Structure 1
Amino acid sequence: MALTITFMAFFSIILAIRNPKNKYNLLFIMMVFGMTLSMFTIVSEIYKSSNYQVPSSFVYRGIEYNLFLFFSRLFRISLSNLQILRNVGIITYLTAIMLFANAFNKNVLTKNQSIKHKNILQYATLASYLVLYFIFYHPDTAFTIYLIANKLKIQGNYNLWISFITVLDIIMGILTFLYMIFPIAILIRNLLKNKISFFSEQLLGLALSISLLNTLFYFVFFTGAFRTSVQDVFDYAFWRYKLAVIVPISYATVLPLLSFVILLIILYITYKFKTDSMINWLKEKGIKKNLAF
Structure 2
Amino acid sequence: MAKNEWGMSVYPLVPRHEIVGEVMEVGSKVQKFNVGDQVGVGCVVGSCHSCDSCKNNLENYCPKYILIYGAEYHDGSITYGGYSNTMVVDEHFIVRIPDNLPLDIAAPLLCAGIIVYSPLRYYGLDKPGLHVGVVGLGGLGHIAMKFAKAMGAKVAVISTSPSKKKEALENIGADSFLVSRDQDQLQLLKSHKKLVLVGDPKKPLELPVFPLLQGRKVVGGSLIGRMKETQEMIDFTAKHNVKPDIEVIAMEYVNTTMERLLKADVKYRFVIDIGNTLKATTS
TM-score bin, normalised by smaller chain:
under 0.3
- Give TM-score scaled by structure 1 length: 0.27
Per residue, is there more strand in 1 or in 2?
Answer: 2
Q: Comparing both chains, which one has the higher relative contact order based on Cα–Cα distances under 8 Å and sequence gaps of 6 or more?
A: 1
TM value normalised by structure 2: 0.27
- Structure with the higher fraction of residues in helix conformation: 1
